[in-house]
Amino acid sequence: MIAPSVTLTTTGHPVHPSRRVDFARFSEPIVVEHKVWIGANAVIMPGVRLGYGSVIGAGSVVTHDVPAMTVAVGVPARVVRAITDDDLATREG
């Protein structure tokens, strides 16, 4: 599931300014595995893999891979917990 205003950006630019003189850029694929949920206004950066069943919190900026069956939130996004069978009995995360 992908909520409103999510950005999946596969193109970036070099950090060093001398490499940007000629508008240098790079592209890396984003991999979204099955049953991932990406919250509203999240930004997924180039080269990131979102593991099976993971949840990305609203407004998060994902700069690194997120393991399967985890919840990641924040700027930059960090894994805050695993998704377990206890989540079958509750609405909240």
Tens of pLDDT along the chain (93 residues) come to 999 999 999 998 888 888 888 888 889 999 999 999 999 999 999 999 999 999 999 999 999 999 999 999 999 999 999 999 999 987 765
Domains along the chain with CATH numbers: 7-89 (2.160.10.10)
* Residue whose structure tokens are 């694929």: 29
Q: Residue 13 catalytic? A: yes
The active-site residue out of 13, 16, 34, 64 is: 13
Mention every residue, 6+ apart, whose C-beta is less than 8 A from residue 58: 3, 39, 40, 41, 42
The model's pTM: 0.90
